[in-house]
Amino acid sequence: MKQSSKEYASIFQLDGIPKFSQALPLALQHVVAMIVGCVTPAIIVSNVANLSTADRVILIQAALVVSALSTLLQLFPIGKKNGIHLGAALPVIMGISFAYVPSMQSIAADYGVPAILGAQIVGGVVAFIVGAFVMQIRKFFPPLITGTVVFTIGLSLYPTAINYMAGGTSSPTYGSWQNWAIAFLTLAVVTVLNHFGKGIFKLASILIGIIVGYVVSLFFGMVDFASIGSAAAFQVPQPLHFGIMFEPSSCIAIAILFAINSIQAIGDFTATTSGSIDREPTDKELQGGIMGYGVTNILGALLGGLPTATYSQNVGIVTTTKVVNRCVLGLTAVILLAAGLIPKFSALLTTIPQCVLGGATVSVFASIAMTGMKLVMSEEMTYRNSSIVGLAAALGMGISQATAALSTFPSWVVTIFGRSPVVVATIVAVLLNIILPREGKKANQK
């Protein structure tokens, strides 16, 4: 018995198979931390696109399956061990990203889900190219720029959260006291657990908040279980179910976000390795990770899944626990995959009232904005840097809040620049960072 126990790898080692009894609770911890964030973008998009109940289930199902497959590729790369490979071989979790939600909402409203998936394929190609030349491109996206973009993403999601807290703009009970009461109850539970909870209660604060809000909403008669009964018990994803449409303006808007998210992934890969195994990621790991990110998003679009990205909350778990074994995170992906193959589970998620989702996600959106602010503040706030952040956020948020100001322009201009503040903020931040003189250079010239 003692000899057989030595055959198991340590959960603190990158490679090897650990004991299942050790791996399972740690894998479930990752699932609990990310599953709400993984499916919520799909729920938001399905509401904006007015999908049927069956199609909503399929979109959520695809979100789980694609997240699982993307994670598995990052953990266990494909390709030559000493050459170019797809995947980072680092302990990261991939999931559907909130970064794309503002743009996806506008595209879904104007062109539907097929246009999102078509733009995602183009974005995947862009990410693959960025990965191939990541070391050369990286200099154009310092923390000041990526932080500004992330900060703007967080700000742009606030109206979505507030509308959800009020019950959803399409709901006949929009703005009712019941919606607000349940939303604030959910938010209160999440906030209390975030600040006073420990261990699994802190990690699962959003999930627990949703469960509490969901139970209370049952007593108000706000939950309809009809979709669960009509959903199948088992079903594989349906490739090209929604179709693919390449709408030029949508492709440009999403492609820009993919370029930014590819660079942002460097931060998550770096945080993972430096916080858990005390080293920087190698160039090959970064290159393989970002190229793999591009390829899985192309394949994900064909399966009907929305854009994915590295999940920072799971990076936090890895760096806190120091559990880096890839099989542990691989088990997380297997659990997600199993959940995605069970439509009844996806249907259950569609029954969550919008006010509950709003109360739970407003704190997520707030943390996204503050993460961006932390990145920005990692650089000295000189007059130059303050100007870049301030002007980028002002023009991005301002134009998106006053889309009527672009009414005389062609519709493609409105789609690219008017609907999501992220695109404008990104372009302005990058250009200003290139054009404006740096204080050090100015001082040297004197």
- Model pLDDT for residues 99-157, shown as the tens digit of each residue: 898 889 889 988 999 999 999 999 999 999 999 888 787 777 788 887 888 788 788 87
Burial status of residue 285 (CB atoms within 10 A of its CB: 0-12, 13-18, 19 or more): buried
Domain parsing of the chain, residue ranges = 12-99+112-138+170-233+241-361
- Using one digit for the tens of pLDDT, what is the confidence trace for 13-63? 888 888 888 888 888 878 877 887 888 899 889 989 999 888 988 998 999
pLDDT band, very low/low/confident/very high, at 402 (cuts 50, 70, 90): confident
Backbone φ and ψ of 172, nearest 5°: -65, -20
Range list of H helices, 133-247: 134-137, 143-165, 177-196, 200-203, 205-219, 226-230
Q: Is the pTM of this model over 0.85?
A: no
Distance CA 189, CA 177 (A): 18
- Whether residue 403 is predicted with pLDDT greater than 60 in this model: the reply is yes
Distance CA 216, CA 221 (A): 9
Quote the pLDDT of residue 290: 93
Backbone φ and ψ of 94, nearest 5°: -105, 145
- Please answer whether residues 341 and 32 qualify as being in contact, where contact means their C-beta atoms are separated by less than 8 angstroms: no
Distance CA 11, CA 355 (A): 39
- Whether residue 68 is predicted with pLDDT greater than 50 in this model: the reply is yes
pLDDT band, very low/low/confident/very high, at 288 (cuts 50, 70, 90): very high
Q: How far is CA 253 from the centre of its chain?
A: 17
Nearest CA among 356, 404, 111 for reference residue 249: 111
pLDDT band, very low/low/confident/very high, at 295 (cuts 50, 70, 90): very high
Residues for the chain: how many in total?
446
Distance CA 266, CA 284 (A): 12
Tell me the average pLDDT across 385-391: 92
- Whether residue 440 is predicted with pLDDT greater than 60 in this model: the reply is yes
**Helix, strand, or coil (residue 346):** helix
Quote the pLDDT of residue 442: 45
pLDDT band, very low/low/confident/very high, at 81 (cuts 50, 70, 90): low
What's the mean per-residue pLDDT of the chain?
84
Contacts of 215 (CB under 8 A, 6+ apart): none
- Please answer whether residues 439 and 382 qualify as being in contact, where contact means their C-beta atoms are separated by less than 8 angstroms: yes
**Of 406 and 71, the one with more pLDDT:** 71
- Please answer whether residues 154 and 372 qualify as being in contact, where contact means their C-beta atoms are separated by less than 8 angstroms: yes
Range list of H helices, 304-382: 312-321, 326-340, 343-350, 354-377
Distance CA 43, CA 158 (A): 16
- Using one digit for the tens of pLDDT, what is the confidence trace for 313-359? 777 778 777 888 999 999 999 999 998 898 888 888 878 888 888 88
pLDDT band, very low/low/confident/very high, at 283 (cuts 50, 70, 90): confident
Locate 140 and state its tokens: 């154009």
